[in-house]
Chains A and B, each alone.
Chain A
């Protein structure tokens, strides 16, 4: 019953509509398809071309695979620059990530074939192992990227991190005041709980959301035995419980954010190590061969 005839925004000109498609599905899995094709070609080359004496890195097929692999590794590492150099032009980081993931996975096949299944305790195998480490961490990353965001979004309940912290601070102010009339020892446990900032914990605690000595929890327990008639104390306990709820939300938030980043702490340093090992591998092949 309605017609839209002059919606100019849809007419010619620069169009900024973006497809609602994740990086994994980007352009109907274009890079998955291309990377599968690449892998098939490599596998076919490996098995169909009969090289003497046996397939390894030193044959022409091996060289070709090695060159493709090394080129890919260098290109994959460049993602770190692409992500941060906001230059003009029609690039999209989503397309880059999509290609990064699928081409990165194809390395499993390409590099393994390149080795000709000859592994040992040397710099060549070190490079291979590091590469596999990077790839495995990448796979973990994908798993995190696809499961955590929704959880993060639910947990934050439309609040920003700043707002969560401000909420906590406001509770702390109330607690500070409510604790004034309490006896000394009770007041001290409350104050100790207030000193318990969500940021004092280190990386591991944050990542595993593990806070054994949580002073807020302890302070709540202190008030368990107080009779219900002690209104001031009960009010403080209720406030403490609210503080704990807020604290838990913030901790969950930090855990999820830490997890989303954690794998990069392996992925990126291992990439640096890989590049060093790869350089050593290439140099040694040309010098000592």
Chain B
């Protein structure tokens, strides 16, 4: 829209093709009355359309008005199906598309690119010829379609705007993800609507909610099961649609076919990202990574000459970026080469105060030339990358960060070099990292504390790269990813095994290293096997179990940064226990033989490994010996550990648990939480599962690899100094994090008004009292616009004394634990 606006203003012939019957579908689909935010604030808007923070309705209204004023040529209900060059074939320009298919070998399709003009084919069959094409189709993509016969009938739908408007219908909802569950429950909520709702689940029924509803949040799935038990709706397990007819559908179930009445099918079986469509246009992506974006030139031109890509699809998910790019890209196409991107002032600021006094462009070129991981970036990527990064200059001897300091950023050395202190007692023992290389990667990979102090060895300039920017870099620039992985693996090994090992000692082991991603529940080591390889856990966590008396007994929990499997190397016996992934984990598998040679060459390393092994062996023996008198406790403990792991404790770094033998239900923890955070509680004590009186309330687990961070447009989620995952004030309230958190701990709410003081309440009865005020009170006393933002536990950062919930518990029922402390056998034996 913004691009078409600029074209209209410049008098360039254009047409704006829109799939739906309105513009800006993503924003159109926001919930009613949503407050739209105009982040980043420092960025100036450059567009023929106005945009400022405000209500969705007002913004859309203004845009529609402006679109008319500018006389933009819009063609609604025009969905583009294909874009093909009609000119001569471009020699040597072939697009290779790799199609991954489950269980079958990848298929490679080759497309010969042709010169413009392009022929744009619409789903209606109409075609349009254009010299240049600007693709701004966002990332929403298309819903996955029902492929069964009859799937194209008009009552097969993919969205449900208002469930309360559907009356007296037989409805089949397909898919048990969150969207499907929410639709089904919404339709069945009020019996007065008299809807008969069935929801189809391909998976079989199981007592483990996570198994039969793998793609839904647990609270959602449980609520659905309850509704089913109460007869509000029906969950049909192991069922799929076989055929759709007017008024009926045929299902294929475990017990054969079944034909049921159906006035409406709502399919919520996910949506396919627009990537396939984009690739078919001849546009190349930077990598196979799911998060990758199209490869673009500094003027947003894709690998297909004449096709430009902007907006969310180009990797810029904020509205202001999108609009600016619309303006810029048309200016570029129109031959305006002088135009400085709108982010120029921000970059000028980033590079201000550094030595040399270079211009932004010179700095960018300098970075590209000097830092190995930035070599392969396009200037456009680099610009955006630098918006999220900082430049730092250090004098010789200045400390860059201290050991154990918090930090999740990665540093790259632009000029100079740094030394890493490898022995905390002896500052002279250092390792030098030269110009062009990186450091601080441990903080990046596992979100943990710095493992060593780093000092500038000479006058040094570094780029400090935020975790998000680094992850984006890794997905966009495959060589950078390989480089970072190589360096971090090598350093992790050196640091883990210590004992004076050098990179040369490990070179053979490194050469055998295999990177693997292990799905949750998969074994990497099986008890009794004769494997010898060693596994290093890079992310995720593992559980160790031993078979005792025919039952698997939980022995211990291994967080990221541990290694496992060396026992077999040392004592040359079969594997003594089974190790499996508690959650999806990344491991490095090292060849046992190669490692054994390192052990033999380094007696100090051998000795320390041996000592560790003795400790483990003693624990095993102790469990073995006590299994008679402790069998019930051991079993209980084992089951409890399984329960906790299933509740996400395995990926937690710090979690709130409630001992229900002590909890008197006073809810003082919730009240304390609300009172120390703007009056809203970030924890729901009563909700959540319980096992053997150990209750896991609905409250953030501060995951090792937070799911919530995956897709936050303004990068508002951070890991803080104490490992806490928190949300800052740039949150735009899009709700992505809420949807991405599998534990349902994020809520969206507006900051309530201020309450009268505690004393005024105690003695004068003023205000709602301690804790979260009721919705009614908040509504009555609210002032101004209610801006809903995401809120969640931040572990009371900045509050002296630490988390209020545990401080405010009168009986000691509320405890905060980290899993490696809690999930250990010693714990069980102490308590048993």
Contacts and interface: CB of A to CB of B under 8 A. Distances in A.
Contacts of B665: 149, 152, 257, 260
A152 B816 CA distance: 22
A148 B722 CA distance: 36
Contact of A88 (B404, B406, B576, B800): B800
B601 interface: no
Contacts of A96: 810
A85 interface: yes
A94 B230 contact: no
B770 A145 contact: no
B318 to A, nearest CB: 32
Nearest to A79: B810
A76 to B, nearest CB: 14
Contact of B442 (A6, A153, A260): A6
Contact of A4 (B446, B561, B576, B653): B561
Interface stretch (B84-92, B329-337, B467-475, B801-809): B801-809
A202 interface: no
A14 B495 contact: no
Interface in B730-761: 758
Contacts of A161: 686
Nearest to A256: B665
B800 A89 contact: yes
Contacts of A166: 226
B232 interface: yes
A177 B659 CA distance: 41
A267 B758 CA distance: 21
Contacts of B804: 86
Contacts of A44: none
A1 B498 CA distance: 17
Interface string B515-559: 000000000000000000000000000001000000000001011
Contact of A1 (B448, B613, B686, B770): B613
Given A5-B496, A153-B660, A167-B230, A10 B820 contact: yes
A156 B666 CA distance: 15
Interface in B765-822: 770, 795, 799-804, 806-818, 820-821
A5 B576 CA distance: 21
A257 to B, nearest CB: 6
Contacts of A150: 660-661, 693
B808 A86 contact: yes
Interface string A17-47: 1111111001000000000000000000000
Contacts of B613: 1
A7 B496 CA distance: 11
Given A2-B616, A16-B654, A7 B721 contact: no
A174 interface: yes
Interface string A152-195: 11001010111100110011011001000000000000000000
B578 to A, nearest CB: 11
A160 B820 CA distance: 29
Interface in B685-722: 686-690, 693, 695, 721-722
Given A6-B451, A84-B770, A1 B616 contact: yes
A200 interface: no
Contacts of B758: 81, 84-85
A18 B695 contact: no
A163 B226 contact: yes
A89 B801 contact: yes
Nearest to A257: B665
Contacts of B832: none
A271 to B, nearest CB: 14
Of B654, B665, B676, chain A has the most CB atoms within 10 Å of the CB of B665
A153 B810 contact: no
B567 interface: yes
B585 interface: no
A1 B808 contact: no
A21 B191 CA distance: 48
B444 to A, nearest CB: 13
A1 B565 contact: yes
Contacts of A207: none
Contact of B815 (A18, A163, A260): A18
Contacts of B226: 163, 166-167, 170
A23 B810 contact: yes
Contact of B722 (A10, A13, A90, A156): A13
Nearest to A18: B815
Contacts of B687: 160
Contacts of B817: 17-18, 20
A153 B722 contact: no
A152 B404 CA distance: 43
Q: Counting chain B CB atoms within 10 Å of each CB, which of A1, A83, A96, A257 scores highest?
A: A1
A56 interface: no
Given A1-B567, A93-B807, A260 B664 contact: yes
A9 B654 contact: yes
A16 B448 contact: no
B668 interface: yes
A93 B576 contact: no
| Size class of the contact patch on chain B | 35 or more
Contact of A2 (B558, B722, B811, B816): B558
B818 A17 contact: yes
A237 interface: no
User: Which of B563, B688, B807 has the most CB atoms of chain A within a 10 A radius of its CB?
Assistant: B807
A163 B811 CA distance: 26
Contacts of B558: 2, 4
A229 interface: no
Interface in B560-607: 561-568, 576-577, 579
Nearest to A153: B660
A103 to B, nearest CB: 15
Nearest to B563: A3
Given A17-B816, A18-B816, A171-B230, A86 B676 contact: yes
B662 interface: yes
Contacts of A88: 799-801
A145 B664 contact: yes
B231 interface: yes
Contacts of B576: 1
A8 interface: yes
Contacts of A23: 662, 810-812
Nearest to B448: A8
Contacts of A11: 404, 449
A84 B406 CA distance: 32
Contact of B559 (A7, A16, A18, A148): A7
Interface in A86-103: 86, 88-94, 96-97
A12 interface: yes
Contacts of B721: 13-14
Contacts of A1: 544, 564-568, 576-577, 613, 616
A162 B686 CA distance: 10
A6 B496 contact: yes
A259 to B, nearest CB: 10
Contacts of A94: 809-812
B610 to A, nearest CB: 11
Contacts of B821: 10, 17
20 contacts: A1-B567, A6-B448, A8-B446, A14-B721, A18-B812, A18-B814, A18-B815, A21-B812, A84-B758, A86-B671, A86-B676, A86-B808, A97-B810, A149-B661, A149-B665, A153-B663, A153-B695, A158-B690, A170-B226, A173-B191
Given A13-B722, A153-B693, 12 more contacts: A3-B496, A4-B820, A14-B802, A23-B811, A81-B762, A90-B802, A91-B807, A96-B810, A149-B665, A160-B687, A260-B664, A260-B665
Interface of A: 1-14, 16-23, 26, 81, 83-86, 88-94, 96-97, 145, 148-150, 152-153, 156, 158, 160-163, 166-167, 170-171, 173-174, 177, 257, 260
Top 10 closest pairs, chain A to chain B, by CB: A153-B660, A8-B448, A8-B449, A1-B567, A170-B230, A6-B561, A160-B686, A88-B800, A86-B675, A94-B812
